[in-house]
Amino acid sequence: MLKLADAPEIGQEKHWFLQLARDMAERDSELPVWTETETLNFEKRYLAPINNGKTLYQCILNVLNDIHHGFTQNDTSSKKLLSKLAEIEKSDEESVQNWLAEQLKLRAKGRYHVYREAEVAEHNMPDIIISGTTGQFEIAIEVKQADSWSPNDLKVALTQQLAEDYLKPQSRRHGILFLTDHGRRNWKNPDTGRRGFTFLALQQYLSDIGTKMKNNTNGNIRVSIFGITAKK
């Protein structure tokens, strides 16, 4: 990978290949030694310990996939709750934040702690903060009802609010922009201005931006987009 980074054909993409090489080295390096408690916990519950921000980040993405699967397959109560928000003219993102925080707590299994913004600050922190139980590392989650915002608004929420403002601490290098669609609007394609921009296309548009974001003013970061369709 390092040899590829120096190839003339790579050009301005050299930094991306260097980042890939670093990620590969991290994956291949020796993992921290498990404690006796962590080993017993893995034997009984098949849960590996979370010892750094990267592992916590992947854990939360897996948990969100589990939440999404349950939401679409069998969680009728949650689906009814979120779909009712479509009947409210004013955005009620706080209800979505509370629902998501509750779902994350239900699946924590002692691996992480979940904090809501109101518990830690006055509107100058992420909507949800996930912290590890074995060290000082955190994940920031910003929640947006996507159909209350334009693609450009959500781009700013991703690139400035989440990536810059909320990922400033060295202990918080990973962030997730969590989106819900309640079917209350159609988006315009931010490149062409044409309507008919779907929720899936919106997620892909923001994901493409997030994938290219490797650093903020304080160092390396990782951000992801995660969406749930909550319309009836």
Check pLDDT > 90 for residue 84: no
- When pLDDT is cut at 50, 70 and 90, the band that residue 69 belongs to is confident
The residue whose two tokens read 């709750």 is 81
**Which pLDDT tens digit goes with each residue over 87-103?**
555 557 888 898 999 99
What pLDDT shows up at residue 225? 95
pLDDT confidence band for 33 (50 / 70 / 90): low
Tens-place pLDDT, residues 120-156? 555 568 999 999 988 889 999 999 999 889 999 999 9
b/e map 133-155, b = 16+ CB within 10 Å:
ebeebbbbbbbbbbbbbebeebb
Where b means 16+ CB within 10 Å and e means fewer, 212-225 reads ebeebeeeebbbbb
In 3D space, the residue among 134, 158, 133, 179 whose CA is nearest the CA of residue 222 turns out to be 158
Q: Report the candidate in 223, 228, 175 with the shortest Cα–Cα distance to residue 200.
A: 228
- Residues 68, 18: Cα–Cα separation, whole Å: 33
How far is the first Cα of the chain from the last one, in angstroms, to the nearest whole number?
A: 47
Alpha carbon distance 101, 130 (integer Å): 9
What whole-number distance in Å separates Cα of residue 138 and Cα of residue 70? 25
DSSP code for 52: S
Q: Give percent helix, percent strand, percent coil of the chain, each to the nearest 5.
A: 50, 20, 30
The CA distance from 165 to 158, in Å, is 10
pLDDT confidence bin for 203, thresholds 50/70/90? very high
Can you count the helices (H) and strands (E) in the chain? 9, 9
Position 25 scores a pLDDT of: 75
Q: Which residue has the higher pLDDT, 31 or 20?
A: 20
When pLDDT is averaged across residues 190-204 and rounded to a whole number, the result is 91
Query: Residue 227 forms beta bridges with which residues?
Result: 179
